[in-house]
């Protein structure tokens, strides 16, 4: 690419087709193979991906499911959480974290996030524990790990489940342990835009608790007994990972660590090059982040967005209206969450992807500095 192109060509927030181009020949072969053999649900492709993903996360097992929202809901069902139970969730998260809690009939208890990382505040969690609390959702937002040490201390003290919402954190580490293997059980999403994305919807549950995984697998497959497919011991549903998607994910998984380290290089360049009025959200030094999103706090967000728009640079806001202020959850809103609410007015997501070049990062930074467009 010439200097001229770098200066002028648009920079998308994320270019999925570009990311998948590198593996498109392998994907074509896998799809032709599956089309030919005719086993479109279940089969060896599912088993291979589940075991590869469990190894990647450093856990005993993984269960492929239909999407990330289902993964979290199935985790709650598998743990027996339902009406009468409370589940503590951060206000600053994607809506699905809260939807899963409501879907099983439990009550979401919203807590605030830490000022520097915008991740769930363990002290706030501790102060919301009641006799009805059943679990805590550790959401690893933007690809950065929540403080698992302090969250495990709180959940351990009260005998609660610590569920990881790892939908944005495939491959992230907390003091060496991967997302998906740092709490009791985790839900992942393979939505196309996630760090590990399918060519459609997909999700997984990971855990070291084989019995829990077995129960979740049965619930996700119509409550079938593992030995007799016409006996239904549990009231289940249908939430399975497609065979075609499992094959795609197996092809993409070996590239994930490399792509995540490229995301870290992009983030490091942002930190070095952005002007002082555009500040990336902090990482906890005990974690290794995978930067699903490059989220900054901008002093003049409207001005920053205008500059990006004029330069043809993609942007987003994750998320403009915090979950506890969404009309759908009004009945669960109790207190203000000052850190979450203040952040919602300042945060801005800059382009971030494993195919982004350092020259593009510098151009984004220069546009936000008010320099040459």
Report the alpha-carbon distance of residue 354 to residue 265 in Å, rounded: 10
For ligand PLP, the closer of residues 189 and 289 by Cβ is 189
Distance CA 216, CA 89 (A): 21
Q: Which two tokens stand for residue 206?
A: 């990971």
Span interacting with ligand PLP, options 2-10, 94-102, 120-128, 230-238, rule CB under 6 A: 94-102
Residue among 79 and 169 whose Cβ is closer to ligand PLP: 169
Q: Is the distance from CB of 192 to CB of 200 less than 8 angstroms?
A: yes
Q: Applying CB under 6 A, which of residues 61, 64, 68, 351 lies at the interface with ligand PLP?
A: 68
Q: Count of alpha carbons within 13 Å of 96, Cβ hemisphere only?
A: 21
CA distance 265 to 271: 10
Site membership for ligand PLP, residue 93 (CB under 6 A): yes
Give the integer Cα–Cα distance in Å for 111 and 118: 11
Per-residue binding string, ligand PLP, 335-354, x by CB under 6 A, is --------------------
Cα–Cα distance between 180 and 167 in angstroms, integer?
A: 9
Of 117, 168, 182, 195, the one binding ligand PLP by CB under 6 A: 168
Backbone angles phi, psi at 164, to 5 degrees: -95, 125
* Contacting range for ligand PLP; rule: CB under 6 A; set: 51-59, 93-101, 226-234, 333-341: 93-101
**113 vs 368 by CB, closer to ligand PLP:** 113
Using DSSP, state whether 114 is helix, strand or coil. coil
Q: Nearer Cβ to ligand PLP, position 191 or 329?
A: 191
Taking residue 29's Cβ as centre, other Cβ atoms within 10 Å add up to 12
By CB under 6 A, residue 207 contacts ligand PLP: no
Site string for ligand PLP, 38-67 (x = CB under 6 A): -----------------------------x
In the complex, least distance from residue 261 CB atom to ligand PLP, rounded to whole angstroms: 21
97 binds ligand PLP (CB under 6 A): yes
**Window of 148-156, 164-172, 280-288, 331-339 that interacts with ligand PLP by CB under 6 A:** 164-172
Q: According to DSSP H, which parts of the chain are helical?
A: 3-8, 16-21, 24-37, 44-57, 68-78, 95-103, 122-128, 148-158, 210-219, 243-252, 256-273, 301-310, 338-344, 358-369
CB of 203 to ligand PLP, least distance (A): 5
For the range 27-31, what are the long-range contacts, defined as Cβ-Cβ under 8 Å and sequence gap of 24 or more?
A: 27/199, 27/247, 27/248, 27/251, 30/244, 30/247, 30/248, 30/250, 30/251, 31/244, 31/247
For residue 96, the minimal CB distance to ligand PLP (Å) is: 4
Which of 61, 108, 181, 203 is the binder for ligand PLP (CB under 6 A)?
203
Least CB distance to ligand PLP at residue 286 (A): 20
284 is an interface residue for ligand PLP by CB under 6 A: no
159 phi-psi bin (left φ>0, alpha ψ -120 to 50, beta other): left
Window 170-199: contact mask with ligand PLP (x via CB under 6 A): -------------------x-x--------
- The residue within the footprint of ligand PLP, chosen from 49, 53, 56, 94 (CB under 6 A), is 94
Query: Residue 125 in contact with residue 88, Cβ under 8 Å?
Result: yes
The total number of residues shown for the chain amounts to 373
The 10 Å Cβ neighbour count of residue 36 is 7
- Which residues 130-159 are close enough to bind ligand PLP by CB under 6 A? 139
Least separation in angstroms between CB 321 and ligand PLP = 15
Q: Can residue 110 be called a binding residue for ligand PLP (CB under 6 A)?
A: no
Give residue number: closest CB to ligand PLP.
Answer: 68
Q: Which residues bind ligand PLP (CB under 6 A)?
A: 67-69, 93-94, 96-97, 139, 165, 167-168, 189, 191, 201, 203
């Amino acid at each position: 690419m010439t200097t001229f192109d770098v200066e002028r060509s648009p920079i998308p927030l994320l270019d999925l087709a570009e990311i998948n181009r590198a593996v498109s020949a392998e994907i074509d072969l896998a799809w032709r193979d599956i089309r030919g053999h005719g086993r479109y649900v279940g089969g060896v492709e599912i088993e291979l991906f589940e075991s590869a993903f469990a190894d990647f996360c450093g856990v005993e097992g993984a269960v492929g499911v239909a999407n990330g929202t289902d993964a979290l809901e199935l985790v709650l069902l598998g743990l027996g959480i339902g009406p009468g139970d409370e589940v503590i969730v951060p206000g600053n998260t994607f809506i699905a974290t809260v939807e899963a809690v409501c879907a099983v009939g439990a009550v979401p208890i919203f807590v605030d996030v830490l000022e520097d990382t915008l991740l769930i505040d363990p002290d706030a969690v501790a102060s919301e524990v009641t006799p009805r609390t059943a679990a805590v959702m550790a959401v690893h937002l933007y690809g950065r790990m929540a403080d698992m040490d302090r969250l495990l201390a709180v959940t351990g003290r009260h005998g609660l489940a610590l569920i990881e919402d790892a939908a944005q954190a495939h491959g992230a580490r907390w003091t060496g342990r991967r997302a998906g293997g740092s709490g009791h059980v985790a839900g992942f999403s393979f939505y196309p835009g996630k760090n590990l994305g399918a060519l459609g919807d997909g999700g997984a549950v990971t855990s070291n608790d084989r019995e829990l995984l077995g129960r979740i697998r049965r619930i996700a497959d119509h409550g079938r007994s593992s030995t007799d497919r016409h006996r239904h011991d549990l009231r289940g549903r249908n939430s399975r990972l497609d065979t075609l998607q499992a094959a795609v994910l197996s092809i993409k998984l070996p590239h994930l660590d490399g792509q995540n380290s490229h995301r870290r290089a992009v983030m490091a360049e942002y930190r070095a090059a952005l002007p002082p009025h555009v500040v990336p959200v902090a990482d906890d030094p005990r974690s290794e982040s995978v930067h699903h999103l490059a989220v900054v706090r901008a002093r003049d967000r409207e001005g920053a967005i205008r500059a990006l728009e004029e330069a043809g640079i993609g942007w987003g806001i994750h998320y403009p209206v915090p979950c506890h202020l969404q009309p759908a959850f009004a009945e669960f809103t109790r207190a203000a969450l000052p850190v979450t609410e203040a952040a919602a007015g300042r945060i801005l997501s800059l382009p971030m992807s494993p195919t982004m070049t350092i020259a593009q990062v510098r151009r984004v930074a220069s546009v936000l500095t008010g320099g040459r467009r």
